[in-house]
Amino acid sequence: MSSPAESVPAVVQAVAASPPRPRTRFIRARSERSLIQGALAGSEADLELLFRRHWPRAYRVAFLIVHDHAAAEDIAQEAFVAAVRRLDRFDRRRPFSPWLGAIVANRAIDWVRSRNSRRETAGGVPEQAAPPDQSLGRYSEEVLAALVGLPPEQRAVVVMRYLLEYTPGEIARALELPRGTVNSRLRRGLDALEARLGEDDS
């Protein structure tokens, strides 16, 4: 049987391209730790269940940072592949979602930086985000538009804190930042959002 590192790209691509399957009682009964253990043992079925369980949240993290549907799908998929390839180093006493979310957020930040750099070099005009096919929850268009104006580092911590409900400590650990840096970015990001939304209301 192939290892997770070898099999995951094809598995992830196939799952991402297929519609979600109805959940069964067996799927709900499986613990996250059990799925991770199965994936480490080479079980593609457990790997698929782990992916399906965490894909929606990973996609939301990516989209809310990059505001590009195609890029968000790529980032979430690549982050999951990266996570599985490092699964043997994952502390299974901790929840998987914040760990995966950190990988997604860091890759999304890098993608935004790269895009901004290319635009500055080319002198291009920012593109509008493509409408997502995945559910993002009950986030207003005004808030999503205001998020676009934040620097990627501030956007990431605001998304993780207030839209995905990570604690500041979880954000600090996930992004490997000092707690004070997270709080500073949150404060500056919220101030900028408040100013932007205030302008829109006036």
| CATH number for the domain harbouring residue 112 | 1.10.1740.10
Residue 19, pLDDT > 50, answer no
User: What mean pLDDT comes out for the span 10-36?
Assistant: 59
Whole-model pTM? 0.72
Q: Distance between CA atoms of 164 and 182, rounded to whole angstroms?
A: 15
Rg over alpha carbons for the chain, rounded to the nearest Å, is 18
Reference 46, options 18, 86, 84, 75; nearest CA is 84
| Two tokens, residue 108 | 């999304």
Total structural domains in the chain?
A: 2
Domain range spanning residue 179? 138-202
User: What mean pLDDT comes out for the span 151-177?
Assistant: 86
**Domain final position from 132, 161, 177:** 132
**Domain final position from 80, 102, 132:** 132
pLDDT of residue 130: 47
Q: Do residue 145 and residue 96 come from a single domain? A: no
CATH number of the domain within which 188 lies: 1.10.10.10
Reference 104, options 134, 77, 79; nearest CA is 79
User: What mean pLDDT comes out for the span 54-76?
Assistant: 91
Q: Do residue 90 and residue 8 come from a single domain? A: yes
Residue 32, pLDDT > 60, answer yes
Maximum pairwise Cα distance, the chain: 62
